Structure 1
Amino acid sequence: MNRLPALLLLLAATVLAGCASPSTPELRPYTAEESRELALEALSRRGLSFDEYQQKKAQLLGLPQKVQGFDGQGEMSAERGLNLHGRAS
């Protein structure tokens, strides 16, 4: 018979301890770095094309966007100002 009151007392203490602890974490505002990381993670999950992804990423990071395009010969030029042996490419 001594087991039953001890078990009930232990159960009551456990329930009261569970009710007394906060169930949600303390809410605080995100830092700028945390917000940026969350935005980059969400961007990577969106399934954008490579160009769209790079454009959105540059906007989020505040980087200047590189202008890449086709040169006069119809070939892609990654760096337009590159000099090869004294002549512009």
Structure 2
Amino acid sequence: MAGPVQQEMEQLLTSAFAPTRLEVINDSAKHSGHSGDDGSGESHFTIVIEAPAFADKSRLERQRMVNRALGDIPGERVHALSIQASAPTP
């Protein structure tokens, strides 16, 4: 079951991009006891997102767009975030 931070990320990304594919994967268990593990069980995530908004954008621009959509979550409430953002292929 998704925790509150994961659910919030899914809602923010869905609202911002209307993605054709969205996976917010909680990787926190793999990092238990490591640096950045705050004990919340929601410290490390992978985001796989595909949306038309990413067409003609560089990898860096896509990552910045995702980070902006997530507001204070990256760096404040989530220690590590891996982003795989792409545009749908025709």
TM-score by length of 2: 0.24
TM-score by length of 1: 0.24
Higher Rg of the two aligned structures: 1
Normalized per residue, the structure richer in strand is 2
Greater RCO (CA < 8 Å, at least 6 residues apart): 2
